[in-house]
A and B are shown apart, each in its own frame.
Chain A
Amino acid sequence: MNTLEINPMEAEQLFLFKLSLGFVAIAVFFVVLVFTKRFIKIWRDQEKEWFLKKIVPLIGSMVIVKRNRLEWRRDIKLLVSLIGRNHAKQQIAIDHLMHLKSNLEGESAGLIFQLYRDLNLVEFSRNKLRQTNWTKQTEGVRELASMNCYFVNVFSSLLQKTKQVTLRNELIVAMTWLDKKEPFRSFRLINFELTDWLKLNIYDQLKKYNRVDLPDFSPWICHERQEVATFFIWLAKTFNQTSSSNAIAHALSGAKTVANAALDSLIEMRNFSYTQKVEAMISNHWICPDTSLLILCYLEGTDKNNFVQILIDRFRFHPYESVMQKADRLRSTYFEKENTNQILATSTYTNALHYGNAR
């Protein structure tokens, strides 16, 4: 080997050496980080436990056992002195109050809100909304919402500004409960993806309302976005809000998915006063298996004879194949019902129904 060829080899080894040094250095850095993290965590946990031990019994008895104003003021003072201006302690106190709130209702819940205000924690949570970090903002929204504190303008402007999905969802859900004037303000203000997760959380908030205070769903049933419309139709059905029946009936003439949802909820709500509208749907939607079945269900609820007549009329215009299919579905849905027998007796399409029978 001559020198020219040895050099690159040595360079390679030198490079490897440097590389391994680099790796080791980074690895050691992370190991040190692991230990510092652990140290800090253990210390924090201890602090938290120690602090909780002090405040939990006091807060518990304040929420449960009646106090006169003087005693209340005395205990608040004591708590304020325990918490001080320490952010970590304030956070622990809020977390504990929120935890209690998630399990308690009625007078005790009122006392929890009172505590939250008297300990000046409202300001602490509001400050979080002013930060740029979206996780902090979300926390702030959550805290204010669970303590029933609402600031229309702050929430609305945050909702319109943010691009962070988690924060946006938090705001939408919070406003559903907090905004007694216009619970669905967020639907008006912005356009957002209505995921199942969001629906579930909105529903959860609506559950907290008394039946009489429940917001009116009808304006939203006519919403141009189909998923919004179907969601509100579903809500009307689930909460059995009869006052939105008209809006639902109106939705029958809408797009297919909306119409289906509307039909389904009318059936579920046992509201059979829109026969004409439903019959009018037949000309547009009869081809679609889901819709035609829903139509049949609905009409069956109204008037038996009418139902059979429509069925026979309709079958006349259909190709043999689809008649068979429909008969099949009818068999499975109305099995052993007198109507089916009636159809069997009167229908000219005995073949088709035989097919249904054979299944």
Chain B
Amino acid sequence: MKILACDDNAFLTKIIQLKVANENLGTVDVAANGKECIRMMDKEKFDLLLLDIHMPFNSGFELLTYVRNQLKLATPIIVLSSESLSTTVRKARELGANDFMAKPFNPAELILRIKQLMKKYEYA
């Protein structure tokens, strides 16, 4: 399975890559900002997206609407953000995020949620 992790924190995406590889879930491609993320999504198809909210160029919210409204994809999306206010979570959900995780996050739980989403969407 192909995952796209979009976050401007390089260490963090590295950690996610390590964890996913360790769990044998698939590969993780990394986009360091919103623009790169759009470029990569246009080129390839991913099975799951991990998005940060505050990123250079395009915010996570914008990416959400881009995926849902413009590309019209149902790809499962998990939003990972340090801004964990209830309004933010609600907004992310409204815009089409399947799940929300607040930073700091537990990598084991991330894997769990990815697996859950996978089951729901019958990937694997």
- Cross-chain contact A60 with B104 (CB below 8 angstroms): no
B12 engages A108 (CB within 8 Å): no
Which of B15-23, B32-40, B43-51 lies on the face that meets chain A? B15-23
- Of the candidate stretches B55-63, B70-78, B105-113, B116-124, the one touching chain A is B105-113
- Asked whether B108 lies within 8 Å of A103 as measured between CB atoms, the reply is no
Task: Return chain B residues, CB-CB under 8 Å to A109.
Answer: 104, 106
A63 in the interface (beta carbon within 8 A)? yes
- Residue B11 contacts which of A65, A100, A108 (CB distance < 8 angstroms)? A100
- In the bound complex, CA of A104 to CA of B15 (Å): 9
With contacts A100-B11, A103-B9, A103-B12 known, is A64 near B19, CB below 8 A? Answer: yes
Asked if A101 is an interface residue, CB under 8 A from chain B, the answer is yes
- Would A105 and B18 be within 8 Å (CB), given that A56-B11, A99-B11, A100-B11 are in contact? no
Q: How far is the CA of A56 from the CA of B14 in the complex (A)?
A: 10
Docked-complex contact A106 and B15, CB < 8 angstroms: no
Task: Kindly identify, within residues 61 to 105 of chain B, every residue whose CB is under 8 Å from any CB belonging to chain A.
Answer: 103-105
Measured CB to CB, the closest approach of chain A to B107, in angstroms, equals: 5
Q: Are A105 and B15 in contact (CB under 8 A)?
A: no
Does A107 contact B18, Cβ atoms closer than 8 Å? Answer: no
A104 touches B105 (CB 8 A): yes
Would B18 and A65 count as touching, CB distance under 8 A? yes
CB of A207, distance to nearest CB on chain B (Å): 8
Evaluate contact between A60 and B15: CB separation under 8 angstroms: yes
Task: Select one of A56, A61, A96, A103 contacting B104, CB under 8 A.
Answer: A103
Contact in complex: B103, A64 (CB < 8 Å): no
Closest residue on chain B to residue A207 by CB atoms: B84
Distance of A271 Cα from B106 Cα, bound (Å): 36
A107 touches B104 (CB 8 A): no
CB-CB contacts below 8 Å: A89-115 with B: 96, 99-109
User: A107 near B14 (CB under 8 angstroms)?
Assistant: no
CA of A104 to CA of B9 in the docked complex: distance in angstroms? 13
Number of B residues contacting the other chain (C-beta, 8 Å)?
15
Shortest Cβ distance from residue A72 to the other chain B in the assembled complex, whole angstroms: 16
Contact A100 B15 (CB under 8 A): yes
Q: Smallest CB–CB gap between B85 and chain A, Å?
A: 10
Cα of A107 to Cα of B22 in the assembled complex, Å: 15
Task: Name, among A64, A65, A96, A100, the residue most crowded by chain B CB atoms within 10 Å (CB to CB).
Answer: A64
Known: A64-B15, A65-B18, A100-B11. A107 touches B103 (CB 8 A): no
Q: Are B11 and A105 in contact (CB under 8 A)?
A: no
Asked whether, in the complex, the Cβ of A106 is within 8 Å of the Cβ of B103, the reply is: no
Closest to A66 in B: B22
Would B106 and A61 count as touching, CB distance under 8 A?
A: no
Q: Is the CB of A64 within 8 A of B104?
A: no
Q: Which residues of A contact B22 (CB under 8 A)?
A: 64-65
Would B19 and A104 count as touching, CB distance under 8 A?
no
Question: Shortest Cβ distance from B13 into chain A, in angstroms?
Answer: 10
B84 (CB) vs chain A CBs: closest residue: A207
- The docked-state distance in angstroms from the alpha carbon of A104 to that of B14 is 12
Contact in complex: A108, B106 (CB < 8 Å)? yes
Bound Cα distance from A136 to B90, whole angstroms: 41
CB-based contact B18/A61 at 8 Å: yes
Query: In whole angstroms, what is the CA distance A107 to B110 when docked?
Result: 12
Indicate if the CB atoms of B15 and A63 lie closer than 8 Å. Answer: yes
Please measure, in the bound complex, the distance between the C-alpha atom of A65 and the C-alpha atom of B21, giving whole angstroms. 10
Contact, CB under 8 Å: B14 / A105: no
Say whether B14 contacts A103, CB under 8 Å: no
Contact partners of A63 in chain B: CB under 8 A? 15
- Known contacts being A64-B19, A65-B22, is A106 close to B14, with CB within 8 Å? no
B11, B14, B19, B108 pick with most chain A CB within 10 angstroms: B11
User: Is the pair A107, B108 in contact by a Cβ cutoff of 8 Å?
Assistant: yes
Contact B104 A101 (CB under 8 A): yes
- Nearest first, the 7 A-B pairs at minimum CB distance are A106-B106, A105-B106, A105-B104, A64-B18, A64-B19, A65-B22, A103-B12
Known: A64-B22, A103-B104. 14 other contacts (CB 8 A): A57-B14, A60-B11, A60-B18, A63-B15, A64-B107, A65-B18, A103-B9, A103-B105, A104-B104, A104-B105, A105-B109, A106-B108, A106-B109, A108-B106
- Residues of A at under 8 Å CB distance from B? 56-57, 60-61, 63-65, 96, 99-109
